[in-house]
Amino acid sequence: MTPLLEIEDLRVSFPTPTGPFDAVRGVSFSLGRERLGIVGESGSGKSLTGRSILRLLPANAALSARRLTFDGTDLLSAPTRTLRALRGSRIGLVLQDPKYSLNPVMRVGEQIAEAARIHGGVSAAEARRRALAMLEAVRIRDPERVFGLYPHEVSGGMGQRIMIAMMLVPEPDLLIADEPTSALDVTVQMQVLAILDDLVARRGMGLIFISHDLDLVSSFCDRVLVMYAGRVVEERNARDLAGATHPYTRGLLQSLPRIDDERAELPTLSRDPAWRDG
Amino acid sequence: MSGDGSVTVRDLSVRFGRGSQAVHAVRGVSFSVAPGESFGLVGESGSGKSTVLRVLAGLNQDWQGTATISGLDVASGDRRLPRIAQMVFQDPYASLHPRHTVDRTLAEPLAIHGIGDASRRVEQALMAVGLGPGFRFRYPNQLSGGQRQRVAIARALMLEPSVLLLDEPTSALDVSVQAEILNLLHRLRRERGLTMLLVSHNLAVIAHMCDRLAVMNRGAIVEEMAVAALRRGEPREAYTRQLLLASLGYDRAVAASMVSYD
């Protein structure tokens, strides 16, 4: 079976007064119908990697790759019209902050229904029915009431679940989730992850889960890529993340406080310049 | 001047808004923190944990109940209170004035309280938080998130308080930077015998930093326990057990068993 997504030698750079800054430097991976985690700290290039797949980069970014294909479509050479047909309907993107992702002057339910109508090609009545069902699926208790609310009337956690509902209602084949649960309380986070888990297991959706939370990624994903300074420094089975060998991954894991340990001092990371290339 | 550093809160109640729109954000919260102790308040968003801290810092003036720091009534607005208890906020991108240099930010509390010798004190504070004198005349936009949070901690130390009120001090930071800041707070507490009241949604951070903790939900304390009991996985209340399980990473069965405590 051919992979859903294939990326080879992906590079993103930005012009600066002192020459180009390479934010993503030769990332390669392929994705099947699985949960792939990408972890790293701020500036590691993990979010840009996710956005490159949708070709949603800032206008001044230069993108190149030896290969960037989604289900047989070459995303690098695809015309805008093809990309627009993929975005939202076949490849969904969930961002961290619902404040900037929801339309502030449109009822949240209408936004979800719009996604179902445009990408799913269903009637207005069916779109409304699907939007309500999806609100219920993301554990919103009173979907009818929430349907009619505006974004400023919902809490951050609820806004995030609405975003997720909007992205899932067209039933995409690939979902790129960039820190989708970082703003959520841990109990809500668990429930949202269970929804994503179901979609991968039942519908065979591919999921790219971008996060800074190593413990969460190792417990939720199948496979993990660890990024540092624009490169993948280590790839592991998620369950086996504790056995990581790269000093950066090991350093990150050790610097996490844990409920069951009594270390007074946490080891801090001393960054080795060689990690940029090693 | 800085008192013994004890904190007591009795039957604290905070309401926002009026009439049918009123939100009862804190409902009859009581706890006490001994001098030099580190106490954690943990809870999910909207549990009222930050509101409790803001009352103690004097940032919220409309409340009922009793709150004292080093024996001084918080409601009195006593001018000595800011010299005893200082606060560090969650977001160092928002809590530092963008057009003030580090020097001006750190010297301001001294000027307000009529304390001299500002130059030496600013340098000492920068050293104490692991920033060299080279940082003194920088603006916040020339600092990383971790460096900003160090400046915010230095500012809180300027008046040599005995109590630090910490509101999610590391949740806006990367994990490796979080470790540095937690180590710094640990060292400051040890060196200065500080009392710490730490608010966080992260049980692991609380377990790392505190001796005791109180778990809050919907404005009330669900249970108070020693961190040792948390480590052994022995919370009494179902709510705390669920919070603990959810903090340990994703588990399909645990996710399915979640119940709502609203």
- Provide the CB-side half-sphere exposure for A105 (13 A, CA): 0
Q: Is residue A79 part of a domain?
A: no
B67 — phi, psi (to 5°)? Answer: -145, 125
Q: Pick from A209, A255, A261 the residue to mutate for testing the B interface (most B CBs within 10 Å).
A: A255
Q: Rounded to an integer, what distance in angstroms lies between the CA atom of residue B83 and that of residue B160?
A: 7
Tell me the per-residue pLDDT of A126-176, one tens digit each, with 9 for 90 and over. Answer: 999 999 999 988 888 889 999 999 999 988 778 888 999 999 999 999 999
Q: Is residue A192 part of a domain?
A: no
Say which of A42, A186, A193 has its CB closest to residue B243: A186
Q: Rounded to an integer, what distance in angstroms lies between the CA atom of residue B50 and that of residue B165?
A: 10
Contacts with B, A 236-265, CB within 8 Å: 251-252, 255-260, 262-265
Tell me the per-residue pLDDT of B4-24, one tens digit each, with 9 for 90 and over. Answer: 899 999 999 999 988 888 889
Interval A22-27 mean pLDDT: 96
Say which of B174, B182, B252 has its CB closest to residue A41: B174
Tell me the per-residue pLDDT of A78-124, one tens digit each, with 9 for 90 and over. Answer: 999 999 999 999 999 998 877 788 999 999 999 999 999 999 889 99
Tell me the per-residue pLDDT of A34-53, one tens digit each, with 9 for 90 and over. Answer: 999 999 988 899 999 999 99
Q: Is residue A76 part of a domain?
A: no
Inform me whether the pLDDT recorded for B128 exceeds 80.
yes
Strand partners, A228: A231
The total number of structural domains in chain B stands at 1
Band (pLDDT 50/70/90 cuts) for residue B1 is very low
Q: Rounded to an integer, what distance in angstroms lies between the CA atom of residue B111 and that of residue B116?
A: 8
Q: Rounded to an integer, what distance in angstroms lies between the CA atom of residue B148 and that of residue B5?
A: 26
Contacts with A, B 50-79, CB within 8 Å: none
Q: Is residue B2 part of a domain?
A: no
Say which of B230, B244, B258 has its CB closest to residue A190: B258
Q: Pick from B49, B148, B149, B176 the residue to mutate for testing the A interface (most A CBs within 10 Å).
A: B176
Query: What's the complex ipTM?
Result: 0.84
Q: By residue range, what is the domain housing residue B95? A: 7-257
Q: Is residue B67 part of a domain?
A: yes
Tell me the per-residue pLDDT of B149-194, one tens digit each, with 9 for 90 and over. Answer: 999 999 999 999 999 999 999 988 888 899 999 999 999 999 999 9
Spatial neighbors of B221 by CB under 8 A, at least 6 apart, are B29, B30, B31, B214, B215
CB contact under 8 A, B45 and A214: no
For position B31, which CATH number holds? Answer: 3.40.50.300
Q: Is residue A141 part of a domain?
A: yes
Rounded to 10 degrees, the C-alpha dihedral A106/A112/A115/A117 comes to: -100
Tell me the per-residue pLDDT of A223-256, one tens digit each, with 9 for 90 and over. Answer: 999 999 999 999 999 999 999 999 999 999 999 9
Q: Please return the burial class of B79, using the count of CB atoms within 10 Å of its CB with bins 0-12, 13-18 and 19+.
A: exposed
Give chain B positions within 8 Å (CB) of A263.
Answer: 208
Inform me whether the pLDDT recorded for A1 exceeds 70.
no
| Chain A CA closest to residue B232 | A260
Position B21 scores a pLDDT of 80
Position A274 scores a pLDDT of 87
Q: Is residue A103 part of a domain?
A: yes
CB contact under 8 A, A257 and B180: no
Q: Is residue B217 part of a domain?
A: yes
Q: How far is B82 from chain A (nearest CA, A)?
A: 29
Q: Is residue B244 part of a domain?
A: yes
Say which of A157, A194, A215 has its CB closest to residue B255: A194
Q: Is residue B1 part of a domain?
A: no
Q: Rounded to an integer, what distance in angstroms lies between the CA atom of residue A32 and that of residue A29?
A: 10
CB B190 within 8 A of CB B209: no
Q: Is residue A154 part of a domain?
A: yes
Say which of B46, B145, B231 has its CB closest to residue A260: B231
Q: Rounded to an integer, what distance in angstroms lies between the CA atom of residue A49 and that of residue A174?
A: 14
Interval B52-65 mean pLDDT: 95
Helix (H) or strand (E) holding A189: helix A186-203
Position B2 scores a pLDDT of 55
CB contact under 8 A, A193 and B44: no
Q: Rounded to an integer, what distance in angstroms lies between the CA atom of residue B219 and that of residue B234?
A: 23
Q: Is residue A204 part of a domain?
A: no
Q: Is residue B88 part of a domain?
A: yes
Q: Is residue A70 part of a domain?
A: no
Q: How far is B99 from chain A (nearest CA, A)?
A: 24
The total number of structural domains in chain A stands at 1
Q: By residue range, what is the domain housing residue A120? A: 94-171
- Provide the CB-side half-sphere exposure for A96 (13 A, CA): 10
